[in-house]
Amino acid sequence: MSIQEILSELQNCEKLQLFPKKISNFKLFLELKETPIGIDIFNYENNNKFAKISLFYNLATKDYILKEALGLTEFCNIKFINPNRDLLLDMLLTNLTVIIQRYSSTNTNPILLEKGIMQFNFNFPSEINGFKLIVSPSNPFSYLSGSSIILDYTNFATNKQLLIYYNEFRNDFFAEYRVNNVLFPCSKFDCNTLVDLEDLLNKNLYQTLKEI
């Protein structure tokens, strides 16, 4: 089946009309347009949270794939990758509200609570030299492989980002920075305790954002 035929079927797909126009302040935008890598089907967007949930068709793999984005951080949700369109749409109609609520609700991960991350008392400015505070320790974002993003400073104008994570399996903090969609390791915040993290933030946060 050609990409034009797949697009035509999507344009006439009744199940797409069943998705709500709004979920927890995320607005639905039906795209249904061809791209160099496949077809953009729909987006749920919340500009206040810098968050977007997208469904697209990948021409190379012949899969329908759900992609999540928070600021400049993007990842495919491996639970929602399937070559069967109708099956995936049924799964999303059942689960999409739960997926989106992760971006709108308070993180209650007991491991993070026990570590004291949500109670971490550090003065994080809402903006530093053009970098906006997207995620702070008061409400971490559960990410991948046991890691949660506890700090995200993003400069959308320059496409740069600083991320600090906590990994619950290793019980450690670590960081990465992004330049033009390429991630690089950053060892300036490597530690195991919040006391040490506070010290490293005081020493390195402003300077790191200046150097990226």
Same domain, 168 and 123: yes
Check residue 171 and give left, alpha or beta (phi > 0: left; psi -120 to 50: alpha). Answer: left
Task: Give residue 29's pLDDT band: very low, low, confident or very high (50, 70, 90).
Answer: very high
Task: Give residue 19's pLDDT band: very low, low, confident or very high (50, 70, 90).
Answer: very high
Same domain, 95 and 114: no
Q: What percent of the chain has pLDDT over 90?
A: 90
How far apart CA 169 and CA 195 sit, in angstroms, is 19
Is-above-0.85 flag for pTM? yes
Same domain, 151 and 199: yes
**What pLDDT, on the 0 to 100 scale, is given for residue 105?**
74
How far apart CA 87 and CA 64 sit, in angstroms, is 10
Same domain, 152 and 166: yes
Q: How many domains does the chain have?
A: 2
Enclosing domain of residue 21? 3-104
**What pLDDT, on the 0 to 100 scale, is given for residue 49?**
84
> What are 150-208's pLDDT values in tens digits?
999 999 999 999 999 999 999 999 999 999 989 999 999 999 999 999 999 999 999 99
Of 89, 104, 119, the domain-final residue: 104
Same domain, 73 and 144: no
pLDDT at position 104 over 80: no
Of 82, 104, 126, the domain-final residue: 104
DSSP string of 142-186, one letter each residue: E-STTEEEEEEEEETTTTEEEEEEEETTTTEEEEEEEETTEEEEE
Of 83, 104, 125, the domain-final residue: 104
